[in-house]
Chain A
């Protein structure tokens, strides 16, 4: 099985890699590019721990093939902070202690960021339904929802 050559943009930088035709984008990110911030909780699109955006669209990277990234713009958790500056969502998650084990956290941040880019002023219900594809077993979601609402408010004010 010959490998496929892919050129893409990852967190703003040009990247090239070779991957198997059946290799997922998640495996490429984690195993070939060393970006292990995206997690595999299920490999079947049910947990959202592998959330990334492709051309701004929120996807489960375990359901996307590495080869599909050709000429796209991929954003992962590693691209959310700008240098020393955490994104307001990252800061609010910390301030609200909206994580326990933290394995779901990258997925929630990527997903919530995609939400706030579309809807800067979501209701609690909108936040809950948007994040319904991200599983968290530790927190009961309470603090996560509060952190996202709080970040949204801060970002609107800024």
Chain B
């Protein structure tokens, strides 16, 4: 067991961290003043729109823009001819604008800039595109078959020895694990093996992609856009447009949700290219239909999982094969799926294999813990079945096998201090765990793991003459991070939260910052904020030392004040941050602290979810009636926003489990590109979502912070599937468990039972 007394972080007495103040951007957000991607305009602005392929797969024979360009009000059209070949960004280039072929329904083939949206829409109709339609493939298993329509003639599967001689839709094979699974299965008393399928789900952010680009004749560009990573957008755009990175300044607008989906470019290079051609600012906003058809949903998957255990619940072997289609280009998150699949368990014998497969669908983008939820759905469903077969409580079974500090993970590294056991214990201790169930109700439990990332981060903290603090971070705030950064700065400096104002700076104002992804912001930008504050404190102490005419080392920073220490203790009145800031000009000039680093030591995060579902046996409708999400946050900086992340993950999981899916017709066209038919959970679909924040400090962060944004979507699908299966008495192995599918399974069971 963990000895908390040995942990300086757990012992630390926080003053500001852990409170729940109003976020700095709050008033702007409740009054409508906050400016999101589509909320800005520029003088002389044109409207840009995209012409998209109606075909899933076709050769792009010709594009005739003459008639469109002749329409009054049309200022420019760009096509593949306006972008140079780019070896480094080969796939990104082909995704933003089709070149040799269109590879999915909705693939961009041209973009137009016009004086109004009406004119731009008319112009799209006048662009004549000649296609040579090819056979297409949508399903991952179909795409892997020999003889399937080939997306890329030159795609030779990587990671296979010997290298295949012919092209296929399989981009890469991955393998992880250790031990000998055959030996492990031989030792098992019970083995459960199942096949699973999950549908592609969309991140479903409410704000569609939007940007405003301005390119001046001297080759300078400015871009305003809703993104999780404006530095990454700058890099892609500069590369695709062949310009210097320093000549393109990108400002991140407020962002209306991303969940991984706003980490790459779609419209931005097109808007810049149109602006370059016309010499005028160009604004582009996707419609909801475009968001569904042409941005990046997550992969759909197919998998097989086999787990063996002894009578007393010890897992002897775990084996799985995962097949993820990531749309038209390589890069599905199957590698992460195969790595995370068994991460919850300390296994002697484990093997996972993953296949990254291309199909005629939009290129997938990251979606919250990319790849892990689908793998967890499969593995945690099998664990539940094992528990039933062994008559062991599912939490007990997990506790028997749970990974702990010092265990080798199924994907290689040894775990440092982690909190899976604590989430399981907290689940067991929760009142929900033993609450009675109603008729047609079932309870499901599942655990999940996500790595969490660190990465390149730059932060600047400026002390103002009045003793307030301006904190500039470079990671877009996707869920209240300006509040948690301000809390950490205030904590470190020993001042009030209200004295700190955090902003997200543009790409010209700070060093590089990696995208807000991988649950890295509170961890990595937080770490940089703390270091920046520590650097500022050093200067503050030095200034006090100068005024007191004592050595710098003889000054310490305590409770927001510089204090003479050691031999000089008590000799001078302590000076507050405001006192020192007021006279900064006379003591050496402005005071600021900054930090630039590659953050490492992001603590892995585990969660256990428990859910009660009621199934209507007449209609097959499953309804979530109670939900408890338990997760290790390391240290919750702003607990309300931590709870919010757990709740948001759970709610998205409910949608993925019960309703959401990309539905394609026989022609490979997306049939449900709107919120009416792609149904995300609404307010009346859900109960209150209980949360338990477990705090097992991350040894890699001075306050113990672990990222919290993603792990919360790893367990829900499995937990819900386990609950549905318990309620309906049938094992559901395909997502979504929508009413028709569930009803079919219930009826099939009835038919079998009566036969």
Q: Does B27 contact A (CB under 8 A)?
A: yes
Please give, as numbers and ranges, the residues of chain A lying within 8 Å of B205 by CB-CB distance. 101, 103, 137
Which A36-60 residues have a C-beta within 8 angstroms of B?
36-44, 46-47, 49
> Which of A109, A135, A143 is close to B206, meaning CB atoms less than 8 Å apart?
A135
A136 within 8 A of B: yes
Which residues in window 1-52 of B have CB below 8 A to A?
20, 22-23, 25-27, 29-36, 38-39, 41
* Contact indicator per residue, chain A 121-158, by CB within 8 Å of chain B (1) or not (0): 00011011101111111111111111000000000000
Q: What are the residues of chain B within 8 A of A141 when measuring CB–CB? A: 651, 683, 686
Q: Does B707 contact A (CB under 8 A)?
A: no
| Contacts known (A37-B32, A138-B257, A143-B640); A101 close to B26, Cβ less than 8 A | no
Q: Chain A nearest CB: distance from B27 CB in Å?
A: 7
Which of B134-142, B216-224, B608-616, B674-682 is near enough to bind chain A? B674-682
Nearest Cβ in chain A — how far from B429, in angstroms?
Answer: 21
Chain B stretch 480-521: residues in CB contact (< 8 A) with chain A: 480
Q: Judging by beta carbons under 8 Å apart, are A128 and B287 in contact?
A: no
A94 at the binding interface (Cβ < 8 Å): yes
Please tell me if the beta carbons of A101 and B641 are within 8 angstroms of each other in the complex: no
Docked Cα-Cα span, A109 to B206, in Å, equals 16
User: How far in angstroms is the closest Cβ of chain B from A80?
Assistant: 7
Asked if A140 and B206 sit within 8 Å, CB to CB, the answer is: no
Verify B256–A101 contact, CB threshold 8 A.
yes
- Selected from A36, A105, A134, A139, the residue in CB contact (under 8 A) with B647 is A139
**Hey, which chain A residues are within 8 Å of B650, CB to CB?**
140
User: How many angstroms between the C-alpha atoms of A131 and B689 in the bound complex?
Assistant: 17
Q: Which residues of B contact A43 (CB under 8 A)?
A: 287-288
| CB neighbours of B73 from chain A (8 A) | none
Q: How far is the CB of B267 from chain A (nearest CB, A)?
A: 15
Q: Closest chain A residue to B682 by CB distance?
A: A132
Range for the number of chain A residues in contact with chain B: 35 or more
Q: Which residue of A lies closest to B207 (CB)?
A: A103
Q: Would you call B118 an interface residue if the criterion is a C-beta within 8 Å of the partner chain's C-beta atoms?
A: yes
Q: A46 to B30, alpha carbons, bound, how many Å? A: 21
B416 proximal to A (CB < 8 A): no
Let me know if B644 is at the binding interface, CB within 8 A. yes
Q: Are A132 and B206 in contact (CB under 8 A)?
A: no
Q: Within A92-120, which residues are at the interface with B (CB < 8 Å)?
A: 93-97, 99-106, 109
Q: Name the residue on A nearest B676 (C-beta).
A: A46
List of A residues within 8 angstroms of B480 by Cβ: 97, 100
A41 touches B206 (CB 8 A): yes
Q: Does B752 contact A (CB under 8 A)?
A: no
Q: Does A61 contact B (CB under 8 A)?
A: no
Whole-angstrom distance between the Cβ of B547 and the nearest chain A Cβ: 40
Task: Name the contact of A100 in the complex, choosing from B118, B204, B288, B478 (C-beta under 8 A).
Answer: B478
In the assembled complex, A18 has its CB within 8 A of some CB on chain B: no
Cβ < 8 Å to A, chain B residues 195-235: 203-208
Q: Are B478 and A86 in contact (CB under 8 A)?
A: no
A95 CA to B685 CA in the complex, in Å?
Answer: 24
> Do the beta carbons of B35 and A36 come within 8 Å of each other?
yes
The residues of A that contact B257 with a CB separation of less than 8 Å are: 100-101, 103, 137-138
B477, closest chain A residue (CB): A101
A103's closest neighbor in chain B, by CB?
B256
Given contacts A40-B38, A97-B643, 6 further A-B contacts (CB under 8 A): A31-B41, A38-B32, A40-B285, A43-B288, A135-B675, A140-B686
Task: Give A residues with C-beta under 8 Å from B.
Answer: 20, 30-31, 35-44, 46-47, 49, 76-78, 80-81, 86, 90, 93-97, 99-106, 109, 124-125, 127-129, 131-146
Identify the 4 closest CB pairs spanning chains A and B, nearest first: A37-B32, A103-B256, A140-B651, A102-B29
What are 30 inter-chain pairs, A to B, with CB distance below 8 A? Answer: A36-B35, A37-B31, A37-B33, A38-B32, A39-B207, A40-B285, A42-B674, A43-B288, A44-B675, A49-B206, A78-B32, A81-B30, A90-B30, A95-B22, A97-B641, A102-B29, A103-B36, A103-B206, A104-B256, A131-B683, A132-B685, A133-B682, A135-B675, A135-B680, A136-B206, A137-B259, A137-B652, A138-B257, A142-B688, A143-B640
